[in-house]
Amino acid sequence: MNAINAANGNVTIIGGGIAGLVAAITVAESGAGVDLYEAHGSLGGRGRATPAPYVAHEGAHVFYADLPHWDWLVERDLVGRLGRPPLRDLKLSFVRDGRLRAMPPAGLLRMMLPGRPATAPVDLTFHEWASDRYGEETARAAARAISVVTYDADTGRLSAAFVWELFRRVFAPSVPTVRWVVGGWQAVLDRMEARARELGVRVHLGERVTELPTDRPVIVATELASAQRLLGDPTLTGESGHCVLLDLAVRSDRRDRFIAFDLDGGGFHESYSMQDPTIAPRGESLFQLDMPVRDGEPLASARTRLEALADLTVPGWRNRTTWSRTATAKGRTGALDLPGRTWRDRPPIDRGDGVFLAGDMVAAPGMRGEIAMLSGLEAGKGAVRALRGQQGLRRAG
């Protein structure tokens, strides 16, 4: 396929988050000129992190290596160095009945072992399907365990196919797929931005686009609410989670947990720094905890439950804290699929007439940042095809 001459056509990308950066690199690698507009003063979107010495992420901070987005990053040398927690720090726990336990319940363990089904039905809720196979108590525990991915307090209401795929990826992969990148998503985003600029992408920071150009392909890589306004399409909606978060730096203590799954409330605790000591000062540990907000629950109640989880996983944290940050994420935690729907039923990437949509709520597989990356890749390829089509029409005319 011949490269596009940048002098003959451009692609406009609105939104400089993960999806927008992937799309910009994809288009620019074809030889097309790219203008990338970002309303904020920096690129990265929800992939951004706080500045050193405490590098805490706004969204995901690990990668899974079992979907094409990982190969895309590796092929372009965008991953960098990988981190790994020392064996002495690998303290994996499950919170059950208000106590930390080293092993999950027997039913949940059975869901993780070989012999489990490869797929689950699309049209049933996860709770219905898992209750029938494993029992109601185990179904509830499994739904709360995988809330780390959905950020949803009632994960059991979602499609069985959707939740089961996530469960298998997190708890029962055929090979280990989790990757901790030194510096996290922020380090990868910095390399992506450098790659985009190296390819000639024109980056416009602090510029909010309110009207789409009509003379070139356009990729709208924003949150769905912003895309809805830009495209004038009220149908651009989707299901997402709601949770409270706590980033916490403390003076290190050997009692601190590396990872903990809260089977009582759906919360999750993970270390940032045990696998990557560069993101916290020496002698300190950095963690992120999250707790899904129940339907109708006051945020203060959810935060109380989150602090109770911290009491278990970071003992005495209130007297050891050196830095902390709280946040709430609602409708900003990636797409969720209800019964009867799959990722293919989400808002399509190709909107027609040279307009494309990208982000973590659109029609691409994966979870959170993976959806954003894969949709950005697909949107970028679509924009290149559309640009070639426009150039062919101009030459024919």
Mean pLDDT of each 10-residue bin along the chain, 397 residues long: 49 96 98 95 92 87 92 97 88 94 94 90 98 97 96 97 96 85 94 97 94 94 94 94 97 95 97 94 96 97 98 97 96 95 97 96 94 98 92 62
Residue-level pLDDT at 124: 98
Same domain, 92 and 157: yes
1 occurs within a structural domain: no
- 12's enclosing H/E stretch is strand 10-14
Residue-level pLDDT at 49: 93
Q: Classify each residue of 149-159 as buried b or exposed e, where b means 16 or more C-beta atoms within 10 Å of its C-beta.
A: bbbbbbbbbbb
Same domain, 99 and 43: no
115 occurs within a structural domain: yes
Residue 307 gets which letter from DSSP?
A: H
**Separation between Cα atoms, residue 356 and residue 375, nearest integer Å:** 9
121 occurs within a structural domain: yes
Tokens 């709520």 -> residue: 361
Residue-level pLDDT at 91: 83
Residue-level pLDDT at 174: 75
**Domains of the chain: total:** 2
Same domain, 256 and 321: yes
List CB contacts of 95: < 8 A, sequence separation 6 or more: 101, 260, 261, 262, 263, 264, 265, 267, 309, 312
List CB contacts of 227: < 8 A, sequence separation 6 or more: 220, 233, 236, 347, 357, 359
Same domain, 309 and 198: no
Residue-level pLDDT at 396: 62
List CB contacts of 53: < 8 A, sequence separation 6 or more: 280, 281
Which of 315, 330, 345 lies at the terminal end of a domain, its last residue? 330
- 35's enclosing H/E stretch is strand 33-38
Alpha carbon 200 to its chain centroid, in Å, reads: 27
Same domain, 126 and 264: yes
Same domain, 266 and 350: no
| Range(s) of the domain holding residue 162 | 82-181+242-330
166 occurs within a structural domain: yes
Residue-level pLDDT at 88: 83
75 occurs within a structural domain: yes
Nearest to 209 by CA among 24, 35, 8: 35
Residue-level pLDDT at 397: 59
Contact in structure between 135 and 156 (CB atoms under 8 Å):
no
Which of 307, 330, 353 lies at the terminal end of a domain, its last residue? 330
66 occurs within a structural domain: yes
Same domain, 22 and 168: no
**Separation between Cα atoms, residue 109 and residue 322, nearest integer Å:** 36
Same domain, 154 and 102: yes
Which of 282, 298, 330 lies at the terminal end of a domain, its last residue? 330
Which amino acid makes up residue 270?
A: E
- What six digits make up the tokens of 206? 């602090």
Residue-level pLDDT at 23: 98
Residue 177: strand, helix, or coil: coil
